[in-house]
Each structure stands twice: as structure tokens, then as C-alpha cells.
Amino acid sequence: MTYTDTRDSSVAVDFRTAVLGGMNSETGGLYIPTALPKLEGRFTNRNPEPSFRDVAFTMARPFVEGEIPDDDLMEIIQNAYPFTPKIVPVGSVSYVLELFHGPTCAFKDFGARFMARVMSYFNKDEGRTLHILVATSGDTGSAVGSAFHGVPGLDVTILYPQGKISPLQEKQLSTFTGNVRALKIRGTFDDCQKLVKTAFTDADLRRRLRLSSANSINISRLLPQSFYYMYSALAVRNRIPLDSRLEDPAIVAVVPSGNFGNLTSGLMAMKMGAPISGFVAATNTNRTIPDWLATGQYEARPSVETYANAMDVGAPSNYERIRAMYPLEEARRLFASYWLDNSGISKAIHDCKERTGYTIDPHGAIGWQAWEDIRSGAMARLADGERNDFTKPGLTPNFPDWGKAAAERNAVGIILETAHPAKFGRIVYDAIGQEPVLPERLAEVMALPDRAVPMENDYALFKEWLEENLE
């Protein structure tokens, strides 16, 4: 497979270059595959549906063709995924897709663990350590740190703003030993990002150290996220005759979104033949994409803090990929969009618990509420011409192609649950009066000693530390 970029379609690079480069430094564009091959019907129509690993292998194969042989690819997948997503019905037409069964209890494990193993694979022949630098405001750092921990040929340095992330998030970042370390910077997330960016453009430093990034723009993080869309859509399709007895309903994936990497992965899965009719982009008050769908104007803005803080993104980086795949009008026909403010998020956590018994986290809660509204009449009212004021929480006015099926109650929703509710225990407790049970792997991390190195927000000191501690 060759990869081109969002800003220059004459670019053609292999998978290795796209993965190790992260983005195209010459154009500033993001890599995208030149083709999204459709899986064969004899694979997608199996009953029972293929296992998660089989789906992962079959989908990944064309993207690494000629660069990673089948046996090595299967080993990467087996190693990356000792866990699987789980599908939990919360109603006859509503399914929660739990993506938090990996080590850090958030969906980013799916992308980060695949990326780590692919980078290690490609780095084998280099004979030198590849140093990953990552600035984080919370969840990305722990997923990346955990994913690369113990992976040969690589090490990771995580920068985070001291005092600005939750105690659990801090433990998840700062307790690693061996090839993963953390620096707590006296500054903001933007300061951390600036230190990392300065290092990447420091020719003197780059002569001495091989540096790479591991942020969400890397194509090797997006590809594996498409696996669980395919897997869950096939599984849900097989359950429909038993759960709701609907005839060929629309299957809609509801995606809590921040940088829109997850939703982009869903678009890729659909093009590869996942039986998905469309999407709901669910956001918090950072409603850059809902506003774009509503008005046609894309306007990046500073991010605002919310209860669903992993989605506090005002300038979603994957907007560029979505635009490269679909013009505005097509995007409007493919996905509805929906947003909630903090009080709406709390109420959604509460109502989900009350109506279904399911304890949902603040990110998934927006998705649950979006689907609850859509299936119980919001899409029918939109079909009748009623428009929610898009500057208020709720559904934006565009009417997607699958809207008619939803209005006629012939649609099922797959709600992506992107994090374990215990990661946001305080917010969940305030909404339902009950503390979610901390999974054992999080409780263990809480008991480990903090090893983060404190550091001033000063590039010269940061550089000196890198030169002394990395080799």
C-alpha cells in the first residue's frame, strides 16, 4: 500500500515512512492510505462473526503488504491485543461498545499498542534507539507510555503539566520504570507541547538523537482503531434478528469525539465494508465540528475545559483527514452531530444509570444521550422540519441519509464507550451517588511510587536533560 498526504496528492510513501515520519514535514500534511480495500463478503458475512484478532489481521494486511510478512503481522496483533472490545446491550436497539479493557482503561490502547509494535518492527534494522517524545494533557501519555513499555529498541519521554492532570492520570504516567520516563513541567500543556516541538526542530539535537513522535496524527494509530468498528458492526448485525427483530435496520456508530481520530477510523472501516450506515459525532462544549456541519464554516478555537476532558479540543487535527475523504455535503449526509454541556453530561450519566442500569463515563455519556434522543424522536422531528438551535445542546440541523431509518425507528446504535467510568470517579459519583469500582489494574498503579522528574519550563534545561539521559 502507498500513502499520500492531505495537502499534496502527488506524495507517495510506504507504510514504514508514514509510521516513522508521523507527518509529512515538507508539506505539513497528514498521511492517508491511497486506497481502502473492501473486505470480501465471504469474510464479512460469516456467522458467527470472525474474532477480533481475525478482523484485525484481515484489515491490517493490505496496509502493510510487502513490508510486514503475515507471520510477523499476526505476532504484532497477538502481542498488541491480549484483550478485546466487549459489546453490552443497553436496550433492544442500543449497544455499548466497551473499548476500555486494555491496560490503561481507555480506547487509546488499541491505537497506541499497535503503533508501538510496528515502530519497534521497523526500527529493528536501524541499530539505534528511537526516542519518542510526547506531550500530554492526560490520557494520551498513559496509553503511549504503557504501549511502549518494555518494547525493544525504543524509549519514551512523556512531558505533562505539573498539577494540571488528575491524580490517577498522573500515576498512570509517572510510575513507569525502564524505557519510559516522565517529566513534570512547571507550565501548561501548551508549554509541554512547545518544548517537544522545539526539540523536533533542533538540528543539533537531532544529529545526536533519533527522535519521533507518537501523537494521534500517526497513521499507525488510526488504522487499528478501524478494527473494532468492523468487529462490532458484524457482531451487532448478527444479533439484530434476536434482540430487536428489525428488518435490515441502519447501523449507526455513535462516537464521542475530540481530535476526531476515532471517527476518522470509523470512516475507514465503513469504506472497507463494515455494515455501518453512518455516524453520530458526539462532542462536549468544544463544538467546532458540530458548528462546521451546521454552518458550513470551519472555525478552530481555543479549547474549553469540560467533564469529558479527553475531548477538550478546539482545533481537531483530523478535520484535515475528514475533509480529504469527504466534501462538506457528503459529510453532512454521513454523520449527524450532537453536543452537550457539563450539566447535560451529568444528567446523561444519571439517566443512563437510571434507565439501563449501566454506569457510563462522561465521554460515553454524551454518545448515549445522543443516541437516546435520536432513537426516541429527535431525528423524526428533524425529518418534520423542526430545527434545534445549534448553539444550544442537542442535534445539529443536517439530516443524514440514515436519518429516515432512524425517524422510522428502523435503526440500531453502537455507542463507543471510550474510557472506564472509574477513571472519572468523582464526576460519576456526583451524577449517580455511587463510586464506580476501580479495576484492579488501575488500583495497582495507584499504589506505585511516583518517579516523575520535575522540570522548569525552559528549553535549554530540557535539552540538557535529554542529552544526559537518552543515548
Ligand X SMILES: *Cc1c(COP(=O)(O)O)cnc(C)c1O
- Give me the residues that bind ligand X (CB under 6 A), please: 106, 108, 139, 216, 256-262, 310-311, 363, 418-419
Tell the smallest beta-carbon distance from residue 75 to ligand X (Å): 27
- Closer CB to ligand X, residue 307 or residue 399? 307
For residue 47, give the C-alpha cell: 456467522
> Strand 411-417 vs strand 250-256: parallel, antiparallel, or unpaired?
parallel
Tell the smallest beta-carbon distance from residue 382 to ligand X (Å): 24
Cell 526500527 locates to 123
Cα 254 to Cα 251, 263, 467: the distances in Å are 10, 9, 45
- Closer CB to ligand X, residue 108 or residue 237? 108
- Closer CB to ligand X, residue 282 or residue 455? 282
DSSP state of 301: -
- Scanning 45-174, the segments in alpha helix (DSSP H) are 52-64, 70-80, 108-123, 139-148, 167-174
- Closer CB to ligand X, residue 220 or residue 257? 257
Q: How many residues are present in the chain?
A: 471
**Distance, CA of 336 to CA of 87 (rounded, Å):** 23
Residue 412: CB atoms within 10 Å: 26
- Closer CB to ligand X, residue 249 or residue 256? 256
Tell the smallest beta-carbon distance from residue 284 to ligand X (Å): 10
Tell the smallest beta-carbon distance from residue 288 to ligand X (Å): 11
SS3 state at 423: helix
Tell the smallest beta-carbon distance from residue 318 to ligand X (Å): 7
Residue 251 contacts residue 275 (beta carbons within 8 Å): yes
Give the helix, strand, coil percentages of the chain, each rounded to 5. 45, 15, 35
Tell the smallest beta-carbon distance from residue 362 to ligand X (Å): 8
Of 62, 73, 156, the residue nearest 117 (C-alpha): 73
SS3 state at 449: coil
Tell the smallest beta-carbon distance from residue 101 to ligand X (Å): 13
Any residues with CB less than 8 A from the CB of 380 and at least 6 apart, and which?
406, 407, 408
- Closer CB to ligand X, residue 179 or residue 306? 306
- Closer CB to ligand X, residue 419 or residue 455? 419
